[in-house]
Chain A
Amino acid sequence: MFKSLTSQLQTMWTILQHTFTKAETVQYPEEMPYLAPRYRGRIVLTNDPDGDERCVACNLCAVACPVDCIALQQGVRDDGRWYPQFFRINFSRCIMCGMCEEACPTNAIQLTPDFEMCEYDRQSMVYEKEHLQIKGTGKYHDYNFYRVAGLAIAGKDKGEAQNESKPIDIKDLLQ
């Protein structure tokens, strides 16, 4: 009897203390909450530091997506780079889990702190490549997949990627 009474009083005291602490909630939307750069919100496609699109249409984001809301089609540009002919995210299905970002081998797909994506029409939640692509590099500033990859593209021939030696001349016995 005494034990339970103490417990009740203790609880009341703890709750009373909260009256004097700072509120965790904010008056959204008048007041905007702080969201860290790594917050998982609206998805963007980024450019590499040289200003060209990072996405190589490898399809890993699409296959990693647990709700299958990413669809794309690869194409090859004249300069030899792989790129998505279309890239579509159905945000009405997206659960902002960030698995696509984790899967992305080129840092192209990134989640941003923006979460304000309400629409009256569900169809407007379908984002195409032009809605997703941003000009900047997002959170990762320096990585450029093609500087590392062995695929030759215009301006970077075989043997010119990081950690690559000059192409072998197979007719030369003295190498």
Chain B
Amino acid sequence: MPIIQIDGQEHEVDTGQNILQACLSLGLDLPYFCWHPSMGSVGACRQCAVVQYQHAEDEHGRIVMACMTPVTEGALFSLTGDKAQRFREGIVEALMLNHPHDCPVCAEGGECHLQDMTVMVGHRDRKYRGKKNTHHNQYLGPLIHHEMNRCITCYRCTRYYNDYAGGTDLAAMAAHDHIYFGRHEEGVLESEFAGNLVEVCPTGVFTDKPLVHEYTRKWDLQSAPSICTSCAVGCNTSPGERYGKLKRIHNRFNADVNGYFLCDRGRFGANFVNSVNNLNYPGSRTEDGRFNALDQQQALLKMAEACDTNNIAGIGSPRASVEANYLLRTLVGADNFAPGFSDVEQPLVELALTIQQSSSAMIADIKNIESADAILILGEDVTNTAPRIALALRQSVRNKAYELAADLGLESWQDSAIRTLAQNQRSPLFIATVGDSRLDDVAEERFNLAPDDIARLGFAVAANIAGEANLGSDDELQQKAKNIAKALKNAKRPLIISGTSCGNSALMESAAQVTQALCNADKQPLPLLSMIVAEANSLGQAMLISDNAVSLSDLTARACAGALETLVVLENDLYRRGKEKDINELLENITNVIVIDGLDNRTLSASSLALPAANFAESEGTLVSMEGRAQRHYPVYLPNAQRRASWHWLLACLKQMGRDEVTEIECFDDITQACATQNSSLSGITTAAPNHQFRNIGVKIPRQTHRYSGRTAMRADISVHEPKQPVDKETPLAFSMEGLNRSQPGSLLPFVWAPGWNSNQSLHKFQSEVGGQLKLKGGTAGTRLLQATDNSNNIALFESPAAFKALKGQWQMVPRHKIYGSDELSVHSPAIAKLVRPAFVEINASDAKKLGVNDGDGVDLNDNKGDKLTTLEVSINDSIATGCVGYSVGFIATENLLAGESLVLSKAENWSPSESQQAVSSGVSDV
């Protein structure tokens, strides 16, 4: 590793870094604006100037930009050199010429990189007496607030939005000091990752719109390490709370998972926790059908009494924590515990787990995905089912560019040079989905096929890689498969992505087959496999249950036979898991329906005893992400009113009943331990995070910043006598500003702050860069429960399905997921709700012609018996395969539709989009 000299001090630095990276990893303060660790350098802002000397006798030196200067052995630099300091101060002064007098009314104030850098360079007094340039702002949608006057033209926004996230509707416009960053006209930003502009922008041009309207400064936010619950990727987040309300979600760095970025569903979709439809008190249904509020003890006694029977069953939830599900399973017994998936999804999630457990490929996390240089997606519309993966895929197609750059000897941070060099050359990405997808613009080739045909394509690719002869498929498919197989075989690190969202098991099996064929070709490093599941803990749920766990329909059958007296439903809206009539049948045939949930929904309304569950921001829990990473989320604030964590209710009930299984369990960590002991696949969850006894150099980790204000006034309207700060017995975090937020394990980082670095750029003080691997000093959060195994003999060989044939007069239903709308909880977030389109069906033009419908017409969907299931708006989309109909998943209007079933369609007469069509989700609030 080269040794460089900075201000007379010798430092050993990593090869391939630039001076700015080197200085920051050495802990030296060097101001910068345009450089970003994941976007590289362009040298646009001229802020990171340092003096470089030619040799030891050189007294003058010359100014160079640290971010554009590679480290070389023996190079001499000065950060504190007078020349460099004056230069840096001059740059900030120039950037501040037109900066408005806005800080008190700016949502960036207090965590503004521009503020930090201005203080750091020592610029204090404004000498410029001329007039400031001004700009009009644009409306950029419900998520992002635009304030163009504050811009310092560092170009980070367009570099992120266009170059990194693949957006097309944000650009730098006009010239010289008129430069303007915005859209060609006002409108909602199209990218699903636009929210990251809030963190990428070093000042307040792009700010969090929902936050701006009920704003709290960073120093007043109480934060805890958390996990996003909007999909199965398991991005690490840092939610901020004030006055009992969740104010915002910020990214929490995890080198292996989300890195620096989140998707908009994750960032803005968590506001459901502030919903007015929160259930705050336990309630029991009376004879007249209304709920009577109970206190906790009464509710607990009622629950224990109802659970004291052998005719009991429990329905868990893939969005609840491993611990809560484990306790419910303990309460009702393994034979009576349904994991809470729909009948279609349950075998698919189990299959996803089996494939990943037995595959000899590496199970990909996002860092791995970004390293892939040939990708095949089978069936998943990644942007809508696991959005953060789509952003990673946009980086992996750039590996071709990095390869070309390496040939020329360019460093990987030479962003502009590499983009110019590569132009449109990309690593191959093949997408086989049921319709168009948002990644099509970077795909080498895309195939829009019926799910069974996608599976056939997969099997043909596998056969091709294995060198087997024609499987009897048609020639066209064979030719396509041949190309894909060639690209995958030639790649250093091929990646196969599939998942459960199509509701088709053959398709997932084909992905397993392709991966296995690649593994058999003895590739090193190992090929990558990624299986996308739907919810935050779907995979954990599959690990918890045994192979033949009961399903919802099994329970319905038992209920109808009168064999069920009590049903406990844990954080699950069953109406999203099956057809309405089946769920009604299940619930109506059971005397005691106990529902534990946080947000009002129809299952809760159908219960006989409702218990208020704390949401993810109010409780602790372990979630297992789609890559099998067990991660812990911690309560950001104490649950409001009588809400309690689900595990808390279940544990209290088990204790009330005097059950032997829980006599040893005293705290949350004991549940995790018991679950890990009893379940070998989950044995790793205890290492996901340190237990509650962990102390950081003898003290707890504070949730509040050291500048947390208003402590003696925030509750003074209730009582002037201040209560003691709440004691957190369950976690190593404290509900106070006391403790040490430094050098703790990565899973316990509530927020980032360092002296002089108030913005999120202070993250680099918490990172270490050793051997080119940027990581948190305390280690990466989470534990991988799935490891690549070399047991290729155990792999079952799967059969290719028959080709899909469109039946006359019938259409196959294929799910179309939507980033905004398909997820259960995020649609209750007001900002996300504004982006949800009403449910619709997609059909190609020739099929539409057959049906005699046009864009915007209504169409009746009837089952084979002629019963009408629903009526939906038609949207013509030629990418949908003939004989298939795409339908939006997760909406009230489509809840009676099942993936893969064949339905009869007919034009709806006198149809107009009704009120119910506008309702966005299956939540009660919209009814």
Contact between B132 and A150 (Cβ–Cβ < 8 Å)?
Answer: yes
Among B130, B137, B174, max chain A CB count under 10 A is at B174
Interface size on A, residues (CB 8 A): 51
B716 contacts A71, C-beta separation under 8 Å: yes
Interface bits A49-83 vs B (CB < 8 Å: 1, else 0): 00000001111101101011111111110000010
Chain A residues, Cβ within 8 Å of B127 = none
The tally of residues in B whose CB lies under 8 Å from a CB in A reads 46
A175 to B173, CA, bound (A): 14
- Chain B residues with Cβ under 8 A from A71's Cβ? 709-710, 713-714, 716
B100 engages A170 (CB within 8 Å): no
Complexed CA–CA distance, A85 and B874 (Å): 45
Q: Mark A86-124, 1 if CB is under 8 A from B, else 0.
A: 101110110000000000011000000000000000110
A105-B133 contact in complex given A59-B217, A88-B717, C-beta closer than 8 Å: no
B219 surroundings in chain A (CB, below 8 A): 63
Task: For B132, give its contact among A85, A125, A145, A164 (CB under 8 Å).
Answer: A164
A59 to B110 alpha-carbon distance, docked (Å): 10
By a CB distance below 8 angstroms, the chain A residues around B102 are 149-151
A82 to B159, CA, bound (A): 31
Are A69 and B713 in contact (CB-based, < 8 A)?
yes
Q: A19-63 toward B: CB 8 Å interface, digit per residue (1/0)?
A: 000000000000000000000000000000000000011111011
Evaluate contact between B716 and A76: CB separation under 8 angstroms. no
Cβ contact of A58, chosen from B105, B131, B180, cutoff 8 A: B105
Tell which of B133, B150, B716 touches A126, judged by Cβ atoms closer than 8 Å.
Answer: B716
Residue pair A93, B132 in contact (C-beta under 8 Å): no
Closest Cβ neighbor of B737 among chain A residues: A68
B387 to chain A, nearest CB (A): 29
Taken residue by residue from 117 to 149, chain B's Cβ proximity to chain A (1 for < 8 Å, 0 otherwise) reads as 000000000000011111111000000000101
Tell me the nearest residue of chain B to A75, going by C-beta: B214
Cα of A85 to Cα of B214 in the assembled complex, Å: 9
**Is the CB–CB distance between B716 and A74 below 8 Å?**
no
Assuming the contacts A68-B712, A88-B716, asked whether A168 and B214 have C-beta atoms less than 8 A apart, the reply is: no
Q: State how many angstroms separate the Cβ of A80 from the closest Cβ of chain B.
A: 9
Q: Of A57, A86, A166, A170, which one neighbours B178 at CB under 8 angstroms?
A: A170
Q: A59 vs B243: C-alpha distance in the bound complex, in angstroms?
A: 14
Asked if B373 CB lies within 8 Å of chain A CBs, one says no
Question: What's the minimum C-beta distance from A48 to chain B, rounded to whole angstroms?
Answer: 13
B residues 765-796 near A (Cβ < 8 Å) are none
- Cβ–Cβ contact A151 & B180, under 8 A: no
A164 touches B714 (CB 8 A): no
CB within 8 A of B136: which of A68, A158, A164? A158
Is residue B720 within 8 Å, beta carbon to beta carbon, of the partner chain?
yes
Cβ of B215 under 8 Å from chain A: yes
- Given the complex, which residues of B lie within 8 Å of A89, measured CB to CB? 713
Known: A65-B709, A126-B720. A167 touches B105 (CB 8 A): no
B286 at the binding interface (Cβ < 8 Å): no
Q: How far is the CA of A92 from the CA of B110 in the complex (A)?
A: 28
Contacts from A to B (Cβ < 8 Å) = 56-60, 62-63, 65, 67-76, 82, 85-86, 88-90, 92-93, 105-106, 122-123, 125-126, 128, 145, 148-152, 158-159, 161, 163-168, 170-171, 175
Could you write out 9 A-B pairs with CB less than 8 Å apart? Answer: A63-B220, A68-B712, A72-B710, A105-B104, A126-B713, A150-B150, A163-B131, A167-B134, A167-B135
Known: A68-B710, A158-B135. 11 other contacts (CB 8 A): A62-B710, A68-B711, A69-B712, A82-B105, A93-B712, A126-B717, A149-B105, A158-B149, A164-B134, A165-B131, A167-B136
